[in-house]
Amino acid sequence: MSDFVRVMAVSDLPPGQAAEVTVGEEMLALFNVGGTFHALSNRCPHRGGPLGQGFVDGSEVSCPWHNWTFDVTTGENTASSDMRVPCHEVKVEDGQVLVRIRDAGAS
């Protein structure tokens, strides 16, 4: 399992916002939901849209390309629980957001 990697300061991503961040060779979508951070793979399972550029409403993000919607806390598609974007571990330490990539297959 990989180590936690610092991706940004807590103050760089206000509540209700999303950002794209890079951890190793992975592009991730990072979300601040009411002060709690969540990380998903950035690639939408439909056609690869960048979820970190999506519209955030509460704990849901809409893909900017064709509007599929995902729960950022679980990665689950809101219309089909069979479809899910990989979730990654997030923690906050000393005002910094750190992310650890989960191994493929774990969610």
| Residues at the site binding ligand FES, with contacts judged by CB under 6 A | 44, 46-49, 63, 65-68
What are the tokens at 72? 């950022």
Q: Smallest gap, in angstroms, from Cβ of residue 10 to ligand FES?
A: 28
Closer residue to ligand FES (CB): 79 or 92:
79
Q: C-beta of 44: minimal distance to ligand FES in Å?
A: 3
Give the nearer residue to ligand FES in terms of CB position, either 15 or 48: 48
> Are residues 13 and 32 in contact, defined by beta-carbon separation less than 8 angstroms?
yes
Instruction: Please name which of 64, 106, 57, 101 lies closest in space to residue 84, comparing C-alpha atoms.
Output: 106
CA distances from 7 to 68, 76, 95, 101, 107 (A): 26, 23, 11, 12, 20
CB 1 within 8 A of CB 100: yes
Give 10 or 19: the residue with its C-beta nearer to ligand FES. 19
Smaller CB separation from ligand FES, 66 or 91: 66
Report the amino acid identity of residue 28. Answer: L
CB 19 to ligand FES: min, Å: 17
